[in-house]
Amino acid sequence: MKPEIEISRMPINELEKISDMLKALAHPLRLKILCLLKNEEKNVRELESQLGIGQALVSQQLKILKLNNLVEVSRRQGFSYYHLSPEKKESLLKVMSGICECFRDTATSQ
């Protein structure tokens, strides 16, 4: 088990990176994209179809996720395929699950 991280002792530049990553997660389309990439990689066309939105908006959201190292891209046969960053996948899925669990608790108590 990893030791608990004491946030108050973290340098401000580390906290800024965390804040930027949380901002990247704070958008419904980006959350949905991450969920769609949870089990398999997808190209932009597949994401467009599953999200029901246009290519420009999908690409814009993917760019933000990529800038925050949450997704990576590989190119094959003229297509770009996106997948969750392998080094962050486990932690990212735990965070997303925890957030959903908090929301579920809030929604049921209202």
Range of the domain at 94: 13-109
Would you say residue 32 lies in a domain?
yes
CA distances from 104 to 31, 59, 77, 97, 108 (A): 16, 30, 41, 10, 6
Would you say residue 3 lies in a domain?
no
Residue type present at position 29: L
Would you say residue 2 lies in a domain?
no
Mean pLDDT by 10 residues, the chain (110 residues): 76 91 91 93 96 96 95 94 93 85 64
For 56-59, the CB contacts below 8 A with 24+ separation are 57/29, 58/33
3-state SS, residue 29: helix
Would you say residue 7 lies in a domain?
no
Would you say residue 76 lies in a domain?
yes
Count up the domains in the chain and report the number.
1
CATH number of the domain enclosing 76:
1.10.10.10
